[in-house]
Every structure is written in C-alpha cells, then in structure tokens.
Amino acid sequence: GQQLNQSPQSMFIQEGEDVSMNCTSSSIFNTWLWYKQDPGEGPVLLIALYKAGELTSNGRLTAQFGITRKDSFLNISASIPSDVGIYFCAGQIKGTYKYIFGTGTRLKVLA
Amino acid sequence: DVKVTQSSRYLVKRTGEKVFLECVQDMDHENMFWYRQDPGLGLRLIYFSYDVKMKEKGDIPEGYSVSREKKERFSLILESASTNQTSMYLCASSPRGGSGNTIYFGEGSWLTVV
C-alpha cells in the first residue's frame, strides 16, 4: 500500500536537544495525525491536526498542518530519554475512510 | 479517553489452525479497522468496517476474514493460519464521516505461526 515519505528515518540526539521530523505526500489530506509507538505496543496518538496552517502543541510537542495540505511536521523540544521510540504520521484522504501512514522516524535519545 | 482493546496480546498458533483476534472499542465509533504491521512495510490495511455487518476489503485481505456483529466489536479471522501471517496485528477505530477524523489504535496482538 501507499506510504508517506517521512524523514529522517532515524536520529540519535543528546538529551535536552530539540528534534524535528516531517512527512510529505503527493496527495492532499484533510487530517494529519502524529503517533508514537514503543516497541511491542500499539501507536499512541500525540497530536491531531484538522485544518491547513494549524499549529498545535501537546506539552513539549508541536505539530503543524502544512498550507499545501501535503505536508506536516512534528517538533519535540528539550528531549528526554523516554522520548525514545518510533514516531509516525498519518494522513486521511479527504472524503474517505482511508488513512495513509508514514514510514516512521526512530528516535534515540542519549542521556 | 478512547479505548480500543485487543483481547490477546501474544499468541502462538500452528500452521493450519483457525485463529480469532478480537477487538472492542468503547467510543461508539462507526468505523473499525484491522491492520498488520511488518518491519519495512509499515501499516497495511486488511479489512475495514463502517457499520454492523458491513465490511470492505483493504489492501491485503487474502487469507483473512472479518466479523462485525455488534458495533463495538470487530473480529479478525485467519481461516487457516500460515507462517507468512506471523505479524503484529493492530485494531483501530474512528468516528464516521469523511473529514477530520482521528483514528485510535489498540495495543496490538503479536501472532506467531509455527
């Protein structure tokens, strides 16, 4: 099935640093979602975005819905060791039930 | 909080066995989904249901069937398990509507077919 381009694929950062990742698509979406998945667990919703240009925060996390509706980014500020995991985006195709998922960004935080 | 519960977290089954994976959601969502997740392949949709007794095939329905007799419950059935069905299975739900919906996932079911 179709997947969204997500970058970077993986990153190692120092505790306290900020992190940025993004997703791009050739399709227009009406919803962008960001999830975190720990090993062996299901994805947990972090942030949901419903409007082009929308900027939403959840604690140290901030995500934006791109103006073109074809991209989104997620920022994590002042990372901590428990931020380790896989982050992935999802976009919902307008007027459908279909969600397309990103390839994931594996984050490792070095204490 | 939305809760999607998958009844079995870890299963080991033999080739040829019939396998049932159960999923229950408590948010009165109309839509329910079954995905499988494999390294390098991401999330792939197996089946989708938009109402009781209604279902649609996803991207990889071969070897699977589903049942939705009640709104809150969506079951995935492997009629005759095979080793290439060893995977992590994720159930999800979302409210009806074509726009602005959030999809919520369960904890996942790890199935190993030997």
Q: What residues of chain B lie within 8 A of the CB of A98, using their CB? A: 45
Please provide residue A49's backbone torsions phi and psi, each rounded to the nearest 5 degrees: -125, 130
**Nearest C-alpha in B relative to A51:** B100
* Residue among A31, A35, A104 whose CB faces B101 most closely: A31
Going by C-alpha positions, the residue among A94, A110, A102 that lies closest to residue A43 is A102
- Least CB-CB distance to A97: which of B4, B48, B110? B48
Rounded Cα distance between B18 and A69, Å, is: 43
In the prediction, which pLDDT does A7 show? 95
Chain B residues touching A44 at Cβ < 8 A: 105
Is there a contact between B50 and A97 if contact means CB atoms under 8 Å apart?
yes
Inspect the interface and report whether the beta carbons of B94 and A97 lie closer than 8 Å. yes
What is the three-class DSSP state of B104? strand
**pLDDT for the residue A94:** 78
pLDDT for position A9? 93
> In a 3-state reduction of DSSP, which class is residue A17?
coil
Residues in chain B closer than 8 A to A35 (CB atoms): 105
Please report residues of A whose CB lies closer than 8 A to that of B103: 33, 90, 92, 99
Q: Any residues with CB less than 8 A from the CB of A3 and at least 6 apart, and which? A: A100, A101, A102, A103, B42
**pLDDT tens digit sequence for B48-97:** 999 999 999 999 999 999 999 999 999 999 999 999 999 999 999 998 76
User: B101 and A92: CB-CB below 8 Å?
Assistant: yes
Name which of A40, A90, A96 is nearest B103 (Cβ-Cβ). Answer: A90
Q: How far apart are CA A102 and CA A1, in angstroms?
A: 11
Please tell me the predicted confidence (pLDDT) of residue B46: 97
Residue B1 has pLDDT above 90, yes or no: no
| Token pair in block for residue A103 | 């390839």
B2-56 per-position pLDDT tens digit: 699 999 999 999 999 999 999 999 999 999 999 999 988 889 999 999 999 999 9
First to last CA, chain A: 37
Q: How confident is the model at residue B99 (pLDDT cuts 50, 70, 90)?
A: low
